[in-house]
Amino acid sequence: MLTPLSVAAGVLLATYLLRKLYIKRFEQFAGFPQHPPSLLLGHLATVDEFVKKQPPKAHADMAFTAMHEALGRPPVMFVDLRPAASPMLIIGSYEAAEQLVKTSDRWPYTPPKAPEIWKHLEYLTGPKSIISARDEEWKTLRKRFNPGFATQNLMELLPSILEKASLFVNRLNTLARTGEEFKLQNYATDLTFDIIGRVVLDIDMDAQKQQSTKFMQVFRELIVTYSGEHLDLPWWCTPHIEWKRYRLHKRVRESLRAMVWNRHAEGSQGGNSSILSMSLRDIDSLTPELVDITCDQLTSFLFAGHDTTSTLMSWTFYELSRTPHALRAVRAELDNLFGPDTDPAAVISTLVGPGGKELIHRMSYVTAVIKETLRLWPPGATSRMTEPGDGFTITTPNGELCVDGLMLYQLHSIIHRDPRAFGDTADRFVPERWLQNADKIPAGAWRPFERGPRNCIGQELATIEARILIALTARRFDFTKVGRGAPVLGDAGNPAIGEHGQYNVASEMYMTRQVTSKPVDGMMMRVNIRQGD
């Protein structure tokens, strides 16, 4: 008697579960633009299909971009990643992206970052990082650290930035003498580690020296644990890596705690303009909890502060190396601002002299190059997350869509190449667009540092660093890409110029994922001392 009842119950349960699954796959988000889902896998098989069509080790964003293109570039695209991850809505238009950064009664500081992403990086950024903080907690942190990142304070730190940048120039001089091929991304990363260490902590990391500090070695080793293909796997799939992260995180945290306590004990006696010192100036009593919160922000700044700028500089030198007219314009502007002496030491002398700081903000073409590089090669995207029952909606040309419970993935590599905003040259490097037609570009179509209240706190530091590095190096060195992305040589042995004013290449460069987006080959280069035009 029990057997027929058990079978009947099993059939009813299976029918119920199948119906629930059917609703989730085919009815719950049926109004969203999407590829045809499968009952069992949603869009996982479709994503895998598009991933396999991309070049080796390509960033997953390239597959999402191809999926988006295949759908005709809708303003949003639903991707059902269940059960592997939360269902995701890819934001592919600047109009939709702008709606996510508007304040509301429910989210006075815009919807929070997706917790499942930042929870995974907790050993790197800390459990109470400003990156993942919400509501008033985020506001308090932003208010506390804003003064350290203000332009006026960063200008006080200019000598420290220039000191570290001069080491970078010396390393390039050595590479020019030896003719050695090198990964520019690695050299730029060493530089930006040195800068962020001095700016944030007022310490030397010695990342550009043969023997870096022990703190630098441990922090770098921690980052490396996140750079493999296992990045998105749950901890129980890679327990040995999780244990290694934990141990390295503890060592980093112990060092940072000591720095915070010491800097607070120094008080005004050790008063400097480092971001750590600035954040402690109005704190009379330091508690262990406050120390830990401070350490969370320091690790976040160290990670994000070195990463964005190093990737930006790698792509900037690449684009200038293959765009002769842009490189000439950069050099002409620098000649006009700093005079004919191209020696980096002369540039540094001018920058620290009377009125030198003002020159950093007068590099209009250099700034256009930086903006265009960030447009084409944004170092990352951003994810927001709403909760079921929030009633959060996005208005699209096809109507209003409720996005409660979805991971909202603002894919900058799609938004930044929107032909509606950037025309027929959306996929090409055209710095002039930011000087000639900037007023015609929708403000929300350029968002590498995101927009709204939660925009990147360190964006001014990143752009100041980039301007300085270009000022020191663009007139002294000629960079040449080797391997992937290298220029095609013509009959006379010179690079062949294409119809759009750039050197033709046999194989296009692209992004890979190493925590964030990086050039696939580390930007392999050769560098020479410039001999003249």
Q: Which amino acid is at 508?
A: E
Written as one string, the DSSP assignment of 30-65 is TTS--PPPBTTTBTHHHHHHHHHTSPTT--HHHHHH
User: How far is residue 376's CA from residue 318's CA, in Å, rounded to a whole number?
Assistant: 12
* Residues 6 or more apart whose Cβ sits within 8 Å of residue 422: 375, 416, 433, 441, 445
Strands 88-91 and 407-410: parallel
Q: Which amino acid is at 524?
A: M
Q: Which two tokens stand for residue 269?
A: 């006696």
DSSP bridge pairs for 395: 400
CA 224-230-232 angle, to 5 degrees, is 105
Chunk the chain into consecutive blocks of 10 residues (it has 533) and report each block's average pLDDT, rounded to whole numbers: 73 81 88 94 96 94 97 96 92 95 85 77 89 91 96 94 97 97 97 96 96 96 80 72 93 96 79 88 92 95 87 97 97 97 96 93 97 94 85 89 92 96 96 93 95 93 96 98 93 84 94 88 96 69
CA 226 vs CA 132, 235, 238, 391, 513: distances in Å: 18, 12, 12, 35, 10
pLDDT at 232: 66
Choose among 374, 360, 308, 340: nearest CA to 470. Answer: 360
pLDDT at 370: 98
Would you call the peptide bond into 239 cis, given omega within 30 degrees of 0 as the criterion? no
Please, what's the b/e burial string for 60-86 (b: 16 or more CB within 10 A of its CB; e: otherwise)? Answer: ebbbbbbbbeeeebbbbbbbbebeeeb
Please give the model's pTM, rounded to 2 decimal places.
0.94
User: How far is residue 421's CA from residue 430's CA, in Å, rounded to a whole number?
Assistant: 13
Q: Which two tokens stand for residue 197?
A: 């260490």
CA 45 vs CA 53, 61, 82, 512: distances in Å: 13, 16, 11, 21
Q: What burial class does residue 110 get, using C-beta atoms within 10 Å of its C-beta: 0-12 exposed, 13-18 middle, 19+ buried?
A: buried
Choose among 86, 88, 66: nearest CA to 76. Answer: 88
Question: How many C-beta neighbours within 10 Å does residue 320 have?
Answer: 24
User: How far is residue 397's CA from residue 399's CA, in Å, rounded to a whole number?
Assistant: 6
Contact yes or no for 117/409 (Cβ under 8 A): no
Contact yes or no for 488/438 (Cβ under 8 A): no
Question: How many C-beta neighbours within 10 Å does residue 491 have?
Answer: 6
Distance of CA 308 to the CA centre of its chain: 5
Fill in the DSSP letter of residue 114. Answer: P
State the helix-helix crossing angle for 459-473 and 364-376, rounded to 10 degrees: 120
Q: Which two tokens stand for residue 523?
A: 């930007």
pLDDT at 168: 98
User: How far is residue 343's CA from residue 396's CA, in Å, rounded to a whole number?
Assistant: 53
* Residues 6 or more apart whose Cβ sits within 8 Å of residue 58: 51, 510, 511, 512, 520
Contact yes or no for 530/477 (Cβ under 8 A): yes
User: How far is residue 175's CA from residue 181's CA, in Å, rounded to a whole number?
Assistant: 8
pLDDT at 90: 97
User: How far is residue 226's CA from residue 125's CA, in Å, rounded to a whole number?
Assistant: 12
Q: Which two tokens stand for residue 308?
A: 């964005």
Question: How many C-beta neighbours within 10 Å does residue 118 have?
Answer: 20
SS3 content of the chain, % helix, strand, coil (to 5): 55, 10, 35
CA 216 vs CA 223, 227, 426: distances in Å: 11, 17, 39
Q: Is the dihedral of CA 416, 418, 421, 422 positive or negative?
A: positive
Q: Which two tokens stand for residue 67?
A: 């999926």
Domains in the chain (CATH in brackets) are: 85-529 (1.10.630.10)
Strands 407-410 and 382-385: antiparallel
Q: Is the dihedral of CA 36, 40, 43, 44 positive or negative?
A: negative
Contact yes or no for 329/335 (Cβ under 8 A): no
Helical (H) or strand (E) element with 529 = strand 524-529
CA 27 vs CA 32, 374, 391: distances in Å: 10, 38, 18
User: How far is residue 516's CA from residue 468's CA, in Å, rounded to a whole number?
Assistant: 24
pLDDT at 11: 76
User: How far is residue 421's CA from residue 402's CA, in Å, rounded to a whole number?
Assistant: 26
